[in-house]
Amino acid sequence: MSTETNTDFRDPTIIRKEIDEDDRYWKDLTPKERDQIEFKFRRALMQLVIRFPFFGFMATRLANDKVWIKSEQQLKNYGKFKTMATDGKRIYIWPQYVLYNDVQSTMGTIMHELLHVMLLHISRGVGYNQELANVAMDYVVNMMVNDFAREIAGRRRNDILDENTYRAMPWYVATPPGYYDERFRDPKTGDPMMWEQVYNIILKEQNPETQKRLNQGAGISDATDGQGLQGSGGNGSMHDSHDFWNPNKRPSDEDGNTNTDKFDPAGAREMVREAHVQATQSKMRGKLPGSMERLINEWLHPPLPWQRLVQNYLKPAQGDYGYVPGDYRFEEPIPWFQPEHQLRYIIVSIDTSGSMSDQEVGSAISQARHLLKGFPNVKGILCQCDAEVSYWDDIKEIYKIDRRSGNGGTSFLPPFQKIIDEGLINEVDLHIYFTDGYGYFPDEHWLKDKKVPFDTLWVITNNDVQVPEGRQNKWTRLNPLVAVER
């Protein structure tokens, strides 16, 4: 599908200045300006629906209850508002934001709001400084919006965002002035980092006194004595408003009604699921970037909660101390310095016997990648095994694997024997084994005879197999429909 060239592009910093300086309300706008605002917003929605149905269906759902800020009375619980925002059910729009921006930028902002909903940002951030969390979330979302657009336009995701690039993109978030920094990419995958990672990087760039104030809940201006954040956090501005995530700060609609409902993650998840079904079944399939397909699939079939599953096997990292945000459930959320913990050495074994489908093997590989994202410094081995070990290499090599190794009979014992033969038996903190469970699980007598000291976490891909027993056997189940990361 060809991408239209944006002939209406103007300097985004000038546009932002024009929007900020225009304090008129709806009644003060000319009829021509009002018509232009409504036309451009409808066109942005229609382009999403026709060309990118997944986004279009979600955007239309939110836009069904859109709130135009047309009068000062609507902002009785809020001060100045000159952009867009969402609370998960509605989109709030300052009319001049659409008036001064082009259609592609308007589409980009709608995408920005959709991603906040998809990623459940509206309900996250408890225990973090909310203003700093807002900055970190915007860094991530802006990168994602522009990465998707560049992928569709046939550009590399880290191409410089200049005027010529913007003109070729189906939508975009202008950066500057929006927050954006190429530093905040995962060095292994090239994807934007999680906002929590960005948050911690920015926090560590601040001096100790600023860190302390931020962790006690002070606003950025107060915490920095009006000087702003140091490092990357000072380069940019918020693209939208997150204040409306608080039910007590939302504007009313033109009839004086205010949505005071708390954000509903289950409702957001259902909206994404419905949009995915409709886009899949639609004759207007449109074009969806591959990275967005992966995000949708991972969102609909989330990875296992690895942090929780392996927390009992974490050990202190020598000499490293982390700065932990205060817990806002307490009256005084005092920050703490505490030793950082890590997963030091693991073995990840994947059953590649004939009873394991390609989807199950692919899902196991995907889950192992998620594990590495949570513990990027971990060392260990990735093993693929049917009746014998067919693959044995450094676990970091999992990012290069795109197919299974082996398709024969089943035995769960070879990885254990390989660990013993390689002299790793006392190095391993945890052994994680992905399997459909059709095989012989090593019992306590076998483990004792072989002097195996570590636990094995069995990740079983069906509901029929009896859970293995034994003190050193832990288990969980993996839905075999979990999306495969390709």
Domains of the chain: 12-300 (no CATH), 307-477 (3.40.50)
Query: Roughly how many angstroms between the first and final C-alpha of the chain, as a whole number?
Result: 22
- State pLDDT tens for residues 39-50: 999 999 999 988
- The length of the chain is 486
- DSSP, collapsed to helix, strand or coil, labels residue 398 as helix
pLDDT the model gives residue 478: 78
In sequence order, what are the beta bridge partners of 384? 350, 391
Q: What is the mean pLDDT of residues 274-288?
A: 69
Cα distances from 21 to residues 14, 24, 32, 97, 280, in angstroms, run 11, 9, 20, 11, 43
pLDDT the model gives residue 439: 84
In sequence order, what are the beta bridge partners of 393? 382
The predicted model scores a pTM of 0.67
- State pLDDT tens for residues 14-36: 999 999 999 999 999 999 999 99
- 273 phi and psi angles, rounded to 5 deg: -60, -45
DSSP 245-304: GSGGGPPP-TTS----PPP-HHHHHHHHHHHHHHHHH-S------HHHHHHHHHHHSPPP
Q: Which residue has the higher pLDDT, 356 or 478?
A: 356
- Helix, strand, coil % over all residues of the chain, rounded to 5: 45, 15, 45
Half-sphere exposure of 389 (CA within 13 A, CB side): 19
Angle between helices 130-152 and 103-118 (to 10 degrees): 120
Half-sphere exposure of 479 (CA within 13 A, CB side): 10
Distance CA 407, CA 355 (A): 8
Tokens of 169: 């993109």
Residue type, 112: H
pLDDT the model gives residue 55: 87
Q: Which residue has the higher pLDDT, 126 or 169?
A: 169
Residue type, 302: P
Q: In what order do the strands lie in the sheet with 430-435?
A: 389-394, 379-385, 345-351, 430-435, 456-460, 473-477
DSSP 93-124: E-HHHHHHS-HHHHHHHHHHHHHHHHTTGGG-
pLDDT at 170 over 60: yes
